[in-house]
Each structure stands twice: as C-alpha cells, then as structure tokens.
Amino acid sequence: MTTRSEPTTRSEPEQDRPGPELDAIMSERRRLTALAYRLLGSLAEAEDAVQETYTRWYAMSRQQQDAIEVPGAWLTTVAGRICLNLLRSARARRETYVGDWIPEPLPERTEWIGGRPDGATADPAERVTLDESLSLAFLVVLESMTPAERVAFILHDVFRHPFAEVAEIVGRSPAACRQLASSARRRVRASRPSATPAAQHAGVVRAFKRAWEAKDIDALIRLVDPDAVAVADGGGLAVTFPRPIEGGEQIARAWIELARRTPDDMTFVERTVNGQPGLVARQGGAVVTVFAFQVAGDRIQRIWVVRNPEKLRHWTTD
C-alpha cells in the first residue's frame, strides 16, 4: 500500500495534548469490520484487514498519532486501501478456487450489521440500507464489480462517505469515484429483485424445507421459479454439486436426490443467514451446510449452498 498523506493530520501537533485514547481507537473496530466484510465478502479476510490496520496505527510514534486529528478517518482510509489491494489479488486467487466462490455467510449477530458513521447524510433514492447490503444476494452482486467500483460504491452508497474521502482511498479523483459508484449502482439496480416482506420470505423458506423433508417434488417445483439457479461452494473441501443447477424443475429433482442421501443424524433448522431467513444443516453438533435464498413474491429465485468448512467457522457454536 502506498503511503500518501492522510487527510486529517495537523502540521504542528500540540505537544501537550494527550494522545488518542485507547478506547476511542478500539471503538472503531466494529465499524471497520462491518465495512471490510462488505468490501471483501469474507469475515476472515475482513478481520485480518482490520488487524493490519491497527498494526499500522500502533507502529507509529506517539507524535505521529497525535498529528492525526480524526483517528477514525485515518483508520478508515488505511483499512479501505488494504481491502482494495486484497480485492485486486483476490481475483487471481479465485481463478484457482475449486468450484464456485460464494461470500462467507454470517449468522445473526448485530455487531456485524452496524457501522454507519454518525451524522452522515444520504439520498435515499440512491442508497441501500446496511441491512440490505449484508444479504448474500447483495454480496454476490458485488463480486461482479471491479475492485475500485466495489470500494467506491460501498464507501459512498452504504457507509455514506463523501466522494472526496473515497478518492483518498481509491486513488482517483472525486469525479472518477462518482462514476465508479454510479456504474456499480446500475449493477445493483439491474439485479435487485422485487421487495418481499420478511414474513413472506420466511414462509417460502419454511415451505421449501417442509417439501424437501417430505420429498414432495411437486411442492418443490411450485416453490422454485422456473428460471431459478442454485450455486454451491465446497471449496474442494466438502462434497457438493460441481456446477450451478439451472431451472426450477432441475433444482427440485436435485433436492429430492439430496433428501434421499441425507444421513439420519443430519437435521435442518431455520436460521437467519446474513440478515434474511435461511436454513442450516447440522450433523454431529456442528453446522455443515448453510443455505441462503433470494425470494421474489412466493417463489425462490436463487439458492446459495455453502459447505466449505473454512467459511462456516462462525457457525460452529450455532
């Protein structure tokens, strides 16, 4: 990462002013993790990026720390640049990934949802909510963006940072960052399904679970959109279907086959996945599969199946 000047430093810090308090610095961790997760799609990588950010902070002398007028802004700039570099290298890494790569699913824990800076303004017509930005469907759309588009969009449209600050992180002009966010916004709008109330979404997932457990293929076909797609991520570490399954009937037949092969000690329970109703499979006291759904109306449009154990480490105490 380059070491361009940070936007919030004093040229002549007051020597007698106390340095930033530890509590104030560490209180930024939750917000930085929330930001980094949305930028990277991996909580493990997000935690590493935030840790590296703090390592760079504490590598500075006290005088250098005192020269930073707004430590939170400095931490955000550094974390954003680290994530941008990770996104650039991730594209090459994922070319060698076994099977499809799906963002890491998260159980329902509020500390991973928050993070909007206080006092920020937003145009509701242009922005997405933090809850929406946590959904797996949203994170999958982010994977189609360039690293610069993703960073500009998340920082501005989700976390409400002005383009002048985004420019410091991305290394482009504010006008260029505005164009990046606009391009990303079009991708999101094109892929955003019609709004489905949470209760209706949960009802569709519950009906899917019951039909699956009953091996009722006709009920499954009625619940899955004819153009639906199911994608699985085993990462080469867990058995799953190797290619996306396209078509409602094909998905229904595949899930009936899964039901026939399900071990007797495996159970399925309804759980919140990235803020939305989903399912998890438990076996031997551990979560071995997470299912996330995109629902429009009374039908399922997308199913994401995550079996890579490295992406389920936050579900082991589920």
Task: Write out pLDDT tens, residues 28-44.
Answer: 999 999 999 999 999 99
pTM: 0.86
Quickly state the pLDDT bin for 22 (edges 50, 70, 90). Answer: confident
Please report the pLDDT score of residue 235 as a whole number: 95
CB 158 within 8 A of CB 128: yes
Angle (CA) 194 290 252, round 5°: 65
CB 255 within 8 A of CB 212: yes
| The pair of three-digit structure tokens given for residue 41, joined into one six-digit string | 């799609």
> Does residue 120 carry a pLDDT above 70?
no
CB 235 within 8 A of CB 97: yes
Please report the pLDDT score of residue 12 as a whole number: 42
pLDDT tens for residues 41-98? 999 999 999 999 999 999 999 999 999 999 999 999 999 999 999 999 987 788 889 9
> Does residue 308 carry a pLDDT above 90?
yes
* Domains of the chain and CATH, by start: 22-189 (no CATH), 198-315 (3.10.450.50)
